[in-house]
Amino acid sequence: MFPSLASSTPLFILSSPASPPTSIAQFLPPPPVSCPSSLSRRRVIPGPNPHPLLSLPSHSTTFPRHLIRCSSMSVSESTSTTTQLRDSLLYSRAYWVSESTIAWNVDVGDDSCYLFASKSATLSFTDDKVRGEDVKIKLEEDSEGLPENVTEKFPHIQDYLAFKVPPGLDTKTLLKCQLAVAALNSDGKCTNATGLQLPGVLDELFSYNGPLGALFFEESVLLYLWAPTAQAVRACIYRDPSGGDPLEIVQLEEVNGVWSTEGPKRWEGCYYVYEVSVYHPCTLRVEKCHANDPYARGRLSSDGKRTFLVNFDSDRLKPEGWDNLANEKPEIHSFSDISIYELHIRDFSANDHTVPPEFRGCYLAFTLQGSSGVLHLKKLSDAGITHVHLLPTFQFAGVDDEKENWKCVDTKILEQLPPDSDEQQALITAIQNDDGYNWGYNPVLWGVPKGSYASNPNGPCRIIEFRKMIQALNRIGLRVVLDVVYNHLQGSGPFDDNSVLDKIVPGYYLRRNTDGFIEHSTCMNNTASEHVMVERLILDDLLHWAIHHKVDGFRFDLMGHIMKSTMVKAKDALHSLTKERDGIDGSSIYIYGEGWDFGEVAKNGRGVNASQFNLGGTGIGSFNDRIRDAILGGSPFGHPLQQGFATGLLLQPNGHDQGTEAVSECMLAVAKDHIQVGMAANLRDFVITSYQGEEVKGSEVLTHDGTPVAYALCSTETVNYVSAHDNETLFDIVSLKTPKEISVDERCRINHLATGVIALSQGIPFFHSGDEILRSKSLDRDSYNSGDWFNRLDFTYNSNNWGVGLPPKEKNEKNWPLIKPRLADPSFKPQRVHILAAVDNFLNLLRIRYSSPLFRLRTANAIQERVHFHNTGPSGAPGVIVMSIQDGHEGVPGLSQLDPTYSYIVVIINACPTKVSFACPALRTRTLKLHPVQAMSTDELVKSSTYEASSGCLAVPPRTTVVFVEPREV
């Protein structure tokens, strides 16, 4: 309740009416009357807002889009005070951080600070006065500053001044208003003002653990929506996915920020839309926002505008044997046994003519046991791959769910064009936003399977078919990882069709900068997992996918933009799931992601984030970009011709200026150190002999900018990779960085070499689909929207998709001068024999990895004790890595015995273009033999490798990875 006006110092002043209210609720418009069930009743369409819009720039009648996107907006110094005040509510530079505290980075001097509220959003500034308020509350500066719990949650405002909010206010009702703070001088003139950011106080007052979304009971359906700032919420119930009038329009009732209603059982199978009346800071108005349920689970209508009411426990949604799937899943004894194959659902079958046309690019393609793609996955599974990582499968923007709306290009026309032509990309990009292709990193609703991958986006098909896909993959020995994108959302604001969360609780779910505008460091609409109910939505969503779809792991896009505490809670929540209670063994669910540290979250700018260096000890994996860059050279953001360990640095220059020979020699030696640390699972405390001859820990080996190479405390915190869906494919990057005059046979061997480093390293190996078949995207560095043409996979092994035209102009044009001559040269294109050899090589690498537990050591201590690197220090042969893994002997003190077959393993990686021979004293008198898998290989070069026990001399062919083993005595 509000304090009494009898207070000696007025804490608030009413502008209208003159008499004090008992509650601000008397200023609210009456709630809409519930509409009776009637087929003739039309859906209410929001009309013009009756309240005048605050003075905005004359060119726009809505909040300027460039301001919404801007991450660091400020008022021009040349604008007048009047203009600054007029525009001040465009900004939200103050924070209501707790019920008793508002933070504002302002020097009020002798002025007084006030909080203003208007339920109808009519705040404005005229003649330097605040106008249109319903309530005016005086704030006092708190000399103690912001409390520790506030600065811990909001470290980016730790130096702001703290202003006390007087006790006794009806704060919960105030939060439904347009709010501003202003500094007034002794004459009552406003000298500074701004809007407020509310997540802190919303978390304190409205954090909620109860039911959300749709709940189904024997006789009823219940709806729950968390929307504490909403003034009214209605649910429009529809029979059909599109068109028609609502069956009912039901007013929800609010209790402490949660709106709910109970409906009849007949609602099940219907569709609904929420109509939320709420103040939106993007327009400075009270808007009627029409939105899907943030907790939508089953599906949407095909146009994405209505939520389907579906009960996941219904037997009609379960494929045969679904309830027993947890008992059929391939076993995982330890996370260290995992290896991951990254795959896009559409890529998998869109070009597979062994798949019926209606299944191509869809969930059901994975259920066809005799297709080329499934047969290929079976080979990978039999050789050792344990997990398939599927690029986003949730509801994302950019692809219409109705296939009849797609546009396409006649491939016969594309096939007739020259390999270096710019016509293919022109034809593809002309329809790229209207075709069936997108990677999917533009989320609309996290918990709904994408409709475009279903045979029918309406009805229950997408649920049933998604489940059939999971079941089919599990039954061929592959667990399934979902790519989740909780760091950003496609839509924002009250009118965007792709906006959901920002319509329900505006300004809460999306992270904002200190001016109040949405952060876009992730490319779009960053989310804020540091806010309680954002974190809860993420955790609930993960549990939904695990329980209702029985998925086996999660890969987090831009995980560093999520708080570490959220990730730890996610892991704990998933691991707490049991077969008996939840139908899934949560302890076997592995989570990992991109631990990049950049943007507003860098260096813990918004709290301790889930970046590489913060995750040590959590058991959560993160991608190791160090080993990727060392193997290939440079980085995805550097010059594309920068060479690395495998691509010819020093040993076979490509003509690009890499520096002097001495510089190149040093760079190659540094790259070798980085790779060795990575092969030891990138452990912080693993000790190597550096190229300078010093004994150093992995954390003491530094990148070019002084960042430690190693960050992990256990092996499963490192996901080693050399390529992924981002950037060029492995074969493409090799074709760019190596000298133009080398043969395609040599490029293929370099491709093999790079995958070999990853396959035989400690930690989790990760492979981009197509690495094993020399996949090309015609040198496209970012094929997220490049259509099926540039993203084609051919599991018949007839083509690797090289030379299908210059890649799309938007992301590649500056490199066209480098790309064009390579695509035009027919000698760059691999033949079927090369692709078949690549498949054999990859399968053999996997077989070797899984032939011994020594390649998959489970603890940091085991790696430190058993893994050693030779050929190190200043005298080490350049371009050659020698790693040994030692096992113990049963009954012999020292190391325990892990491998019943081999007591000692040696891996030699020769990146040189020539054969190398060198003696390794530590390997003398060993009874080493070429690994039986390689001894039976079709690769004649690898079979020519030799070892001489008396001298410890090794001879390894060019660009070859060789594995020698010491068999135990029988």
User: What pLDDT, on a 0 to 100 scale, did the predictor assign at position 526?
Assistant: 98
- At 942, phi and psi to the nearest 5? -65, -30
Structure confidence at residue 64 (pLDDT):
34
Which of 853, 952, 962, 865 lies closest to 906, judged by CA?
Answer: 962
Model pLDDT, residue 81: 60
* Partners of residue 488 on adjacent β-strands: 526
d(CA 697, CA 329): 39
Q: What is the pLDDT of residues 52-89, one digit of tens each?
A: 222 222 222 233 333 333 333 333 333 456 667 778 89
945 with 835, same domain: the answer is yes
CB distance 214 to 309 below 8 Å: yes
- Asked if 287 and 143 sit in the same domain, the reply is no
Q: Specify whether the CB–CB gap between 751 and 707 falls below 8 A.
A: no
Residue 893, Cβ density class (10 Å: 0-12 exposed, 13-18 middle, ≥19 buried): exposed
Residue 442: both structure tokens together: 């533009």
| Residue 117 CB contacts under 8 Å (≥ 6 apart), including other chains | 24, 133, 134, 135, 137, 174, 177, 178, 179
In a domain? residue 178: yes
Whether 102 is covered by a domain: the verdict is yes
Burial of 911 (0-12, 13-18, 19+ CB in 10 A): buried
Specify whether the CB–CB gap between 469 and 367 falls below 8 A: yes
Please compute, for residue 199, the number of CA atoms within 13 A of its CA located in the half-sphere on the CB side: 23
* CB neighbour list of residue 333: distance below 8 Å, 6 or more residues apart: none
Phi then psi dihedrals of residue 213, to 5 deg: 90, -155
Q: How far is CA 632 from CA 339, 645, 657, 812, in A?
A: 21, 6, 16, 19
- 241 preceded by a cis bond (ω within 30 of 0): no
Both tokens of 943, joined, read 């079979």
788 is catalytic: no
pLDDT of res. 20: 32
Q: Is 684 domain-assigned?
A: yes
CATH of the domain at 246: 2.60.40.10
238 closest CA partner among 212, 273, 288, 289: 273
Round to whole Å and give the CA distance between 678 and 759.
12
H or E stretch covering 65: helix 65-69
Strand partners, 104: 94, 161
The answer to whether position 283 is within a domain reads yes
Helix, strand, or coil (residue 384): coil
Rounded to an integer, what distance in angstroms lies between the CA atom of residue 12 and that of residue 209? 34
Q: Which of 535, 557, 771, 794 is catalytic?
A: 557
- Same domain? 185 vs 217: no
Kindly tell me the number of DSSP H helices and DSSP E strands found in the chain. Answer: 26, 38
CA separation, residue 327 to residues 119, 476, 551, 556, 748 (Å): 56, 14, 13, 26, 41
3-class DSSP assignment, residue 50:
coil
pLDDT computed for residue 739 by the predictor = 98
Tokens of 517: 């505008």
Query: What is the model's pTM?
Result: 0.91
Considering the domain architecture, whether residues 215 and 193 belong to the same structural domain is answered as: no
The verdict on 844 and 948 lying in the same domain is yes
pLDDT mean for each 10 residues of the chain (970 residues): 30 31 36 32 28 27 32 39 77 97 94 97 89 96 95 97 96 97 94 96 98 95 98 97 94 98 95 98 97 89 88 93 96 97 98 97 97 98 98 97 96 97 98 97 96 91 96 98 98 96 98 98 97 98 98 98 98 98 97 98 98 98 98 94 98 96 97 98 98 97 95 98 98 98 98 98 98 98 98 98 98 97 98 98 98 98 98 95 96 92 98 95 93 97 96 96 92
Q: Residue 172: phi, psi to the nearest 5?
A: -60, -35
- Element spanning 629, H or E: helix 625-632
**216 shares a domain with 156:** no
Do residues 228 and 279 share a domain?
Answer: yes
The answer as to whether 239 is a domain residue is yes
Q: Three-state secondary structure along 793-861?
A: CCCCCCCCCCCCCCCCHHHHHHHHHHHHHHHHCHHHCCCHHHHHHHHHHHHHHHHHHCCCHHHHCCCHH
Residues 180 and 212 in one domain: no
Q: What is the pLDDT of residue 441?
A: 98
How many other β-carbons are positioned within 10 Å of the β-carbon of residue 859? Answer: 14
594 has catalytic annotation: yes
* pLDDT for position 370: 95
Q: What is the pLDDT of residue 304?
A: 84
Q: Does residue 849 sit in the same domain as residue 952?
A: yes
Q: Which two tokens stand for residue 407?
A: 């546009």
Please name the helix (run of DSSP H) or strand (run of DSSP E) that holds residue 663, with its range, or none: helix 661-679
For the domain that residue 900 is a member of, what is the CATH number? Answer: 3.20.20.80
Within this chain, do residues 264 and 164 fall inside the same structural domain, yes or no? no
Buried/exposed code over 148-163 (b: 16+ C-beta within 10 A; e: otherwise): eebbebbbbbeebbbb
Residue 111 maps to which CATH number? 2.60.40.1130
- For residue 551, the model assigns a pLDDT of 98
Inter-helix orientation angle 661-679/625-632, to 10°: 140
Asked, for residue 841, whether it belongs to a domain, the answer is yes
Q: Indicate the number of domains in the chain.
A: 3
If residue 882 lies in a helix (H) or strand (E), which one and from where to where?
strand 880-886
**Residue 10 forms part of a structural domain:** no
- Contact call for residues 199 and 508 (beta carbons, < 8 A): yes
List Cα–Cα distances, 148 to 159, 281, 642, 950, in angstroms. 12, 28, 47, 67
Determine, yes or no, domain membership for 571: no
Q: Among 150, 168, 198, identify where a domain stops.
A: 198
Write the CA distances from 911 to 870, 899, 957, integer angstroms. Answer: 15, 29, 9
Of the residues 316, 333, 364, the one at which a domain ends: 316
**Of 594, 673, 780, 782, which one is the catalytic site residue?**
594
pLDDT reported for residue 45: 25
Provide the residue range defining the domain that includes 872: 623-774+830-967
pLDDT score at 40? 29
* One domain, residues 154 and 279: no
Residues 550, 326: contact at Cβ < 8 Å? yes
CB 677 within 8 A of CB 626: yes
Specify burial of residue 357 (Cβ count, 10 A radius: 0-12, 13-18, 19+).
exposed
Per-residue CA distances from 68 to 62, 510, 512, 723 (Å)? 11, 11, 10, 34
3-state secondary structure of 938: coil
Q: Which residues neighbour 836 within 8 Å (Cβ) at sequence distance 6 or greater?
A: 797
Q: Domain boundary residue among 261, 295, 316? A: 316
Cβ atoms of 259 and 253 closer than 8 Å: yes
- Same domain for 860 and 962, yes or no, is yes
